[in-house]
Amino acid sequence: MRAVLQRVSRAQVTVDGSVVGAIDGGILVLLGISAEDTLDDLNWMVRKVAELRFFEDADGKMNLSVEDVGGAVLVVSQFTLYGDCRKGRRPSFIAAAEPAKAVEFYEKFCGELTQRGLQVATGQFRAHMDVELVNDGPVTLLVDSRTE
């Protein structure tokens, strides 16, 4: 699994002019699922998102997790994170999971974060989404369950 994590002061997803998910303060997760991902990758990513020290403490050091600060998580499915641009001018997406597996893992990922007590909002799987955010910091990190 791959994810782009952005610390945000607010973020929202709109589909066809209607807001389908929004948060005030927390992490925007752009989540990519590969054809080779397993439940171990999913569980690793859940822990990483929930426990990563992404927020500043009283001394200005990034020592607090989204769980520690009571922040929310907005999760947006992003198969394009598995776009391979090494050859030609058009990305190849063959490494991305097929939709049936991707939606299963996406929903399980969101459910696991919710079970940890986090407020979770989502985009709409396989929809054309407009994602708006205010990146706080800015702080943006890339995480990959296969390279960490």
Q: Residues 123-134: pLDDT tens digits? A: 999 999 999 999
Domain-located, residue 120: yes
Q: Which amino acid is at 29?
A: V
Query: Any idea what the CATH number is for the domain that residue 72 is in?
Result: 3.50.80.10
Domain-located, residue 129: yes
Residues 83-139 have pLDDT tens digits of: 999 999 999 999 999 999 999 999 999 999 999 999 999 999 999 999 999 999 999
Is 109 tagged catalytic? no
Residue 8 has pLDDT above 80, yes or no: yes
Number of domains observed in the structure of the chain: 1
Confidence (pLDDT) at 47:
97
Domain-located, residue 93: yes
Alpha-carbon span 127 to 138, nearest angstrom: 27
Domain-located, residue 80: yes
Domain-located, residue 117: yes
Is 124 tagged catalytic? no
Residues 45-87 have pLDDT tens digits of: 999 999 999 999 999 999 999 999 999 999 999 999 999 999 9
Is 93 tagged catalytic? no
Domain-located, residue 147: no
Q: Which of 12, 14, 55, 79 is catalytic?
A: 79
Alpha-carbon span 69 to 12, nearest angstrom: 20
**CA neighbours within 13 Å on the CB side: how many for 123?**
25
Q: Which of 80, 114, 115, 140 is catalytic?
A: 80
Its domain, for residue 31, covers 2-142
Domain-located, residue 148: no
Q: Which of 6, 12, 14, 78 is catalytic?
A: 78
E strands of the chain, at which residues?
2-15, 18-32, 55-56, 62-64, 72-77, 119-122, 130-144
